[in-house]
Amino acid sequence: MSLPSVESLIEKLTQALTPYFSNPESQPVIVGIETGGVWIAEQIRRRLAPAAELGRLDISFYRDDFTRKGLHPVVKPSSLPTDIDGSTIILIDDVLQSGRTVRAAMNVIFDYGRPQKILLAILIDRGQREIPVQADFVGASLSLDSNSHIKLEGPEPLQLVIKTLDRDVDS
């Protein structure tokens, strides 16, 4: 399977998000979900609004399937601006599948405050939802076998990799 280039997907998201940065007095806060979402958020921020605030979320302990999957995460600190009340947040992640990561990220955000709006930008949408979460902006939608896993590797250069039981396919 041929994968789209990460560069072209980030450019597509950047173009879709441009209107939200047209008013310099009302800039959204860009928030990336560790790890791939932060890499993408940094790229989008650099292109759109280098002065915009950038947040990072580690959702490890907020996942509802934490104990079932036997995850042993390396926890990184989350950081958001001190006051997100009433702001627009552009939440960014690399892959959307079940919706559980996004749900966990919103829980973290609401621990910091109450934003006016959260917009979700995703590099790759795999479908296969378990929770009703829908992205506002999508770089590409891919249908993969349920035994396949897609991952953003980086940070330099960023590339998409599909891992299956049989082989790896790089973009």
Q: Which amino acid is at 74?
A: V
What does the CA dihedral 79, 131, 127, 124 come to, rounded to 10 degrees?
A: -10
Assigned token pair, 18: 């441009």
CA distance 153 to 106: 24
pLDDT tens for 49-108 read: 998 889 999 998 775 655 555 555 556 678 888 789 999 999 999 999 999 999 999 999
Instruction: List, for residues 131-142, the tens digit of each pLDDT value.
Output: 999 999 999 999
pLDDT digits (tens, 9 = 90+) for 31-43: 999 989 999 999 9
What is the structure's pLDDT at 23?
87
Strands 149-153 and 159-163: antiparallel
CATH among 3.90.850.10, 3.30.930.10, 2.102.10.10, 3.40.50.2020 for 6-145? 3.40.50.2020
Mark out the alpha helices in 88-158 (DSSP H runs): 100-112
Name the β-bridge partners of 93. Answer: 122
